[in-house]
Structure 1
């Protein structure tokens, strides 16, 4: 049977399609966007490095960091936190790895594509964000391995429409007219206007971005009629992507799943395959509505001041002015920074970090690596450092090597962060020998410069202030925390902040000590 298209359909769609593909190919922002999205998609959710890798990616982008923190502090998620969330590690712990991963993907899309034909593109982006949350909720019910890919597939299901809306707005409007006035499906309308489906267009771009085939193939349209229970993971991903996009459209229209005809038909089509009944559909709509509002708000609202990187510490058997001393608390609450970069409200940020670590330890479900990352991030953002690392001692060679790192330091410098104590007469050796937490406010001071080892001067020649916090377990050196700035820090660390830093140190040692 020959398909009949309306009179507005083009006889030759090749020039239109080729012109669109050329516009997409010449968009200078898409390669970088694709590279970032590919990096996030390929982050594995399992393994000891999972949380660290995701946290590193998010923290490398200040805008993305603010948006994830804003999301974690929205009403939908704040109840679980009980207090303001100020670190990405804490956000991942509370929201879950997959939630932060798919949210980061959505935020990258919004950042990369929302500047063009804003109103229509925003509408398509909002629906894509909502679909990703539907996919995430369905993934929680699934027995398939790596089911979290469903949220990614659902997010990308709308990619074709996004690309057309942002790169050929007139063509986008033309397709919408066919879908509205002439009542064509999205597939038939897009074929009539550009000679390919939205899914086929998305497939071209996603392949260029090196998105896994399992996700790209999930975008293919399903045949009409009731959907049967999937026999394989690829089939299930395809079903979830299709259902999520349709459900997101209805959710945005504020349809009542208990009364709405379109929702009832959607349930009849997918209910058996996805294990949904009317009660589950109502609950799904409610959950997705709340979470999608939170995600959209996190992307649309103006940025709020976020906690910035951190600085400082002190210790024991060296010049008295580089030692930290514990005394009664002082109150500091201003959300501005010293010239060094250290926030004025460091005490409040450190206190929040101590509470976060305590909660993570009490949960019984944290890994030591994740806890150390949270402590490192707390020190980094609470005290204004440009770089922070936890170094671990190799028991065979006796050398110390960076294990976890955060901040603005080239990857090559991080990999070169390897040193030996030698005769123990430099700052690092003295700190470890005395279990002394050291604050160096001005590395150029004569009494300090003489104690700085050659490897430090060579690797970090611009470090003007730094801290060294030894980590000893039962009297034996496990490693140390190091963090620095490129500015001197004459403000130092008052006793109340010192006490909180020592508490963080104690929490790390407690987590590392066999019980």
Structure 2
């Protein structure tokens, strides 16, 4: 090529990519060396070049010490070129090839500089789109500097595939691969991959098969390898994993927020003279948790439930999926939903989580799930009685906050207040769980010195309960709203809250102080303490003594009903006896005798077992169509669940229903009854004349649903055979030579399943939707004639719902 690009004199080549070359060059006007990236297009396009030049000039406005600036962008003979500041040094990919994995003390400063640069670009409305180690320079002063904010990547993508994909596959965010949707959080995902590489010394997803890498990004959670986790602080592990969440809503909200979290980890804020003891307690507790995984397992479940997006269509499916992963949790929630209290609230005769959400609301079901999860993780401990007391206090605080919050701020905030109040004393609960002897000593100090609880905890543990709870909640990734609600209010009159987050903090404090009045004071002192609390919170919440007394009375009834639904005998707990002393009648507070193991007892609902693998249950026919398929051994349980689901759908159809609600209930019933690995709904898109996956149940169902995308123009495969003929089809073995040729390529790429079911939904013989269900291994789906009839009834109800919705 010419020894010049524009006015710049080429000195030598520095590197090249598929459609670009980087040169060391000299600017004769300003007498300085620069780096030039030339972009060559197979199909020159003047409009494309004009747009890319405009984007490059916008990027050239960025001025930040951790960004390599663009000096100039221009066009020559149909090709674009970008002129950068020459930064002596090497890129991060080359740096890591030499150094290997970096210790956190060296890796995090590099990452902080990268996030500073990305945050600055985001503030200017610019998304990088191709953040990766080779686009990060480490200069001679060891300062990280980010370059190439997506301009070259977009140009190269357009020159090769029409702009469908932009960037490097191994660093693409799942939502971008699946939906071509990019945002600031896509850059955060890439930043998480860079941080992974810094700490591990290699790519998270290596390999030359681009399609396989992209499939794994969509379908697999990226987690640090076990050998690396063993070397890192648990909080740092969580920070990396949060950045790498597949759902962008679960990642950091911004690069600035991720930077703040890393900086806090690298430079923890001092908290006075007790900081060393405080940190020692936290570190010791985290180490103990690694060996006793109950509470971390709880935190993951609660965090997943709390982070569910508020978008109605997706959040209901996400919540139901999260709950349905735990068979025991599902049955216990349905037991609660069908208890006397929730029957009065509008529940009753509900057999699916999806229907429970429709009737009671997403927030109410979320609160139930978290309550049951917390209780389950407190069972079978040596200090179980004390833990049950702590649980009852937490539950009563949540119910009080919901009651008061609903009356003060409206029903929509009641469930948020419940969650915040329930975890207000997480520190005390953790201490009782992991440090039972120290907790007993704290109680002795309280009696001997007559001091505040946090002061006693500070003396014994070196940290207050509030600080302990906040530190662990942050490590677990709890939402800021819950963490903030753990902060103690100052003594004296409480000021009026400034916003919703402040209001939840006040409600959490008020409800927990009310619990203290009930749980810790003899009955003759309770009226005096109630007046004190009314005076303390009167201005902030606008409640008086009578309001608080009525709230307590209503809340005690709910706690008693909840105890009955989970077979917990209040009279066998100290806090339960204190509740009785408040003045409620014994009949309303004492639950029926618990079973011998003091567990949750039997339910009015059938305890449905997951369908066992049917390797030993060969179908009677290899034919794909449902004809004479043998029934399974647990037909009674299947039939009961299918019939209950049919009733759920019928109840929804006679009410003011939403179509998606009915479809979710239908799919969840099939999922629970038949033991499918996943069930997915596909809907016909009129504009593209194609079938598109919408939502479903089972592992990664939402991600897998996005891969169901095929044209309805006829093709001789199984899916078109089912849809065109309106025939229900079961494929027992996708690798059967008689069937294999009729399994389309898009399906084999989208999902790994050796057996599946297709149930078309047709109106006037025209397919409008499709239900797909699968299992992993050939022969695992076995359906009796009776169950097939019930499945078809469910499907027909879904068709009726589609007709009624227009």
Higher relative contact order (CA 8 A, sep 6+): 1
Following the alignment from structure 1 to structure 2, what is the Cα–Cα distance between the partners of residues 427 and 185?
Answer: 70
1:348 match: 640
Q: Does 2:738 align with 1:437? A: no
| CA apart distance, 1:46 | 4.6
Instruction: Work out the CA distance in 2 between the residues paired with 1:147 and 1:130.
Output: 14
Task: State which of 449, 472, 482 in structure 2 corresponds to 1:205.
Answer: 472
The answer to whether 1:322 aligns with 2:619 is: no
Q: Secondary structure at the match of 1:52?
A: helix
Using structure 2 for the length normalisation, give the TM-score: 0.53
Q: 1:469 maps to which residue?
A: 759
Deviations along 1:78-108, one digit per CA (max 9) or x if unpaired, are 564443x432212323443112212323333
Deviations 1:278-326 (A, max 9, x none): 4633543344323542575489425866335679xxxxxxx9982479x
1:377 maps to 2:668:
yes
Equivalence for 1:138:
404
| Aligned CA distance change for structure 1 residues 267 and 288 (closer, same or farther; 3 Å) | farther
* SS of the residue 1:375 aligns to: helix
Separation in 1 of the partners of 2:439 and 2:646? 51
Deviations 1:306-357 (A, max 9, x none): 335679xxxxxxx9982479xxxxxxxxxxx936xx6433232212111111
Q: Aligned with 2:693: secondary structure?
A: strand
Q: Which residue of 2 aligns with 1:333?
A: none
Deviation (angstroms), 1:251 = 5.3
Q: Show CA shifts across 1:133-182 (max 9, x none).
A: 22222332243775532122101111110122223222211111122343
* 2:428 is aligned with 1:428: no
Distance of 2:328 and 2:420 partners within structure 1 = 24
Change (3 A) 1:271 1:504: farther
- SS of 2:313's equivalent? coil
Is residue 2:397 matched to residue 1:397? no
For residues 179 and 258 of structure 1, the distance between their equivalents in structure 2, rounded to whole angstroms, comes to: 18
Alpha-carbon offset, residue 121 of structure 1: 2.7
Q: 1:296 to 1:257 in 2, by over 3 A?
A: farther
Deviation at 1:186, TM superposition (A): 1.3
Give the superposed CA RMSD.
Answer: 3.7
Alpha-carbon displacement from aligned partner over 1:2-57 (angstroms, at most 9, x marks no partner): xxxxxxxxxx9667544422222212135554333322222234532121111111
1:20 matched to 2:281: yes
Greater Rg over alpha carbons, structure: 2
Alpha carbons 1:139, 1:150 under 8 Å: kept: yes
| Contact 1:257-1:264 within 8 A present in 2 as well | no
Q: What is aligned with 2:388?
A: 122
User: Where do 5+ consecutive residues of structure 2 fail to align?
Assistant: 1-272, 569-597, 613-621
Match of residue 54, structure 1, among 319, 341, 356: 319
Match runs of 1:180-195 below 5 Å? 180-195=447-462
Match of 2:794 among 499, 504, 508: 504
Residues 284 and 44 of structure 1: CA distance in aligned 2, closer, same or farther (over 3 Å): farther
Looking at structure 2, the residues matched to 346 and 185 of structure 1 have their Cα atoms a distance apart, in angstroms, of 55
Q: Against the structure 1 CA distance between its residues 338 and 181, is the aligned structure 2 distance closer, same or farther, given a 3 Å change threshold?
A: farther
- The secondary structure found in structure 2 opposite 1:396 is coil
CA distance in 2 between counterparts of 1:165 and 1:306 reads 32
Q: Quick one: structure 1 residues 200 and 408, their matched pair in 2 at CA, closer, same or farther if it must change by over 3 Å?
A: closer
Report the 3-state secondary structure (helix = DSSP H, G, I; strand = E; otherwise coil) of the residue aligned with 2:449. Answer: coil
Is the 2:401–2:414 contact (alpha carbons within 8 Å) kept by the matching residues of 1?
no
Q: How many residues align?
A: 480
CA 1:146–1:281 in 2, change beyond 3 Å: closer, same or farther?
closer
| CA apart distance, 1:457 | 4.9
SS in structure 2 at match of 1:480: strand
Cα separation, 2, equivalents of 1:423 and 1:448: 18
- State the match for 1:314 in structure 2: none
* Corresponding position: 1:76 with 2:341: yes
**Distance change (3 Å), C-alpha of 1:14 and 1:468:** closer
Q: Which moved more, 1:281-290 or 1:43-52?
A: 281-290
Residues 462 and 53 of structure 1: is their aligned pair in 2 closer, same or farther, counting only changes over 3 Å? Answer: closer
Q: Which residue matches 1:4?
A: none
1:338 equivalent to 2:632? Answer: yes
CA distance in 1, matches of 2:732, 2:334: 30
Distance in 2 between residues matched to 1:438 and 1:478, nearest whole Å: 17
3-state SS of 1:140 partner: helix
In the other structure, the counterpart of 1:285 is 555
Shift of 1:490: 8.3
Whether the aligned pair in 2 keeps the contact of 1:222 and 1:242 (CA below 8 Å) is yes
CA distance in 2, matches of 1:258, 1:177: 21
Q: Which SS does the other structure have where 1:55 is aligned?
A: helix
Give the alignment partner of residue 245 of structure 1, picking from 490, 512, 520. 512
8 Å CA contact retained: 1:393, 1:399? yes
Write the mapping of 1:159-174 to structure 2, written as runs, cut at 5 A.
159-174=426-441
- Report 1:148-163 matches (<5 A): 148-163=415-430
| Partner of residue 3, structure 1 | none
Which of 178, 198, 221 is matched with 2:488 structurally? 221
The normalised TM-score by structure 1 is 0.80
Shift of 1:237: 1.3
2:409 alignment partner, SS class: coil
| Distance across 2 between alignment mates of 1:170 and 1:96 | 41
Residue 98 of structure 2 is aligned to residue 98 of structure 1: no
Q: Distance in 2 between matches of 1:271 and 1:487?
A: 66
Residues 281, 36 of structure 1: alpha-carbon distance in 2 compared, 3 angstrom cutoff: closer
**CA 368–253 in structure 1, closer or farther in 2 if over 3 Å, else same:** farther
With over 3 angstroms needed to count, the CA separation of the structure-2 counterparts of 1:345 and 1:102, relative to structure 1, is closer
Unaligned runs of 5+ in 1: 1-11, 312-318, 326-336
Return closer, same or farther for 1:293/1:498 CA change in 2, 3 Å cut-off.
same
Q: Return the alpha-carbon distance in structure 1 between the equivalents of residues 707 and 325 of structure 2.
A: 20
**Kept after mapping to 1: 8 A contact 2:684/2:768:** yes
Q: Secondary structure at the match of 1:322?
A: coil
